[in-house]
Amino acid sequence: MKKSLPRRRTEDRERARKKILAAATHLFAERGLEDVTYGDIAKSSGLSRPLVYFYFPDQESLIQETFLTACQRLQERFVFVAAQAASGAESLMGIGRAYLHFHDDCPDEARLMLLEGAHCPPVQGSPSIMDGLGKSIRGRICGDVAEALEAGSITAQLLEQKRAIIALVASEVERGRRDGSVRKDGASATVIALNLWAFTHGLVGLRGQLGAALDDIHGVSMADFLNHGFQLIHDALAP
């Protein structure tokens, strides 16, 4: 059966958007956010510059959507791992490994997530609004805070996506507490989730920074370094 014309047009538009986002993600990761033009993105995507402008009228919205897409891809991996795990602790360890593998399998998206926090200077906004935002998102909101967080805006979607990732990890901490695989004392599940992210992010960062030099400088193999790091996480969570 032939597809209707409106449906074909919708699919064509979605394919064009995906091409633009893929090209922009690669170029932003490779060159940085300030050294990529719409002409570069058009050439890389195989589309015309006017079409890129049609889908993304300003570069800030395009940058933020690449950030959002990267976060969504990471969360998809976390959800898959959590669904396969037999316990909360197993899920948390799997999520940590999934974050590590995300940097191997999706280097452009991983690089974008590193660039995201430094993209904009902190906004000047109402303390009551600012206090409700995660630190990593504060630097993303440029201009008027209320307008930026308007329901449905790309900035609001990015904020909710970040919250969803941490909420997922926190839910697995609570799951582990219920099934007895994670200790019940200590901080809230959200605080633990944020600390797990920080510790794992540090492991990944040092791996990228030192690479083979870790063995040359310190006499420690990368495998031993990572395995011990994840073992420390496991032991800290154990009841």
Among the ranges given (68-82, 112-126, 216-230), the one the predictor scored with the smallest mean pLDDT: 112-126
Q: Compute the Cα dihedral for 85, 91, 97, 102 and give only its sign.
A: positive
CATH architecture, domain 1-57: Orthogonal Bundle (1.10)
Q: What is the pLDDT of residue 194?
A: 95
What are the sequence ranges of the domains in the chain?
1-57, 58-120+154-237
Eight-state DSSP code of residue 187: S
What is the CATH T-level fold of the domain 58-120+154-237, as seen in this structure?
Tetracycline Repressor; domain 2 (1.10.357)
Global pTM reads 0.79
- Encode burial over 136-148: b for 16+ CB neighbours within 10 A, e otherwise: ebbbbbeeebeeb
**Neighbouring C-beta atoms of residue 4, cutoff 10 Å:** 9
Kindly report, residue by residue over 109-143, the tens digit of the pLDDT: 999 888 876 555 344 443 433 344 444 444 444 44
Instruction: State pLDDT tens for residues 24-60.
Output: 999 999 999 889 999 999 999 999 999 999 999 988 8
pLDDT given for residue 5 in this prediction: 53
CA angle 230, 236, 239 (to 5 degrees): 125
Q: What pLDDT band is residue 72 in, cutting at 50, 70 and 90? A: very high
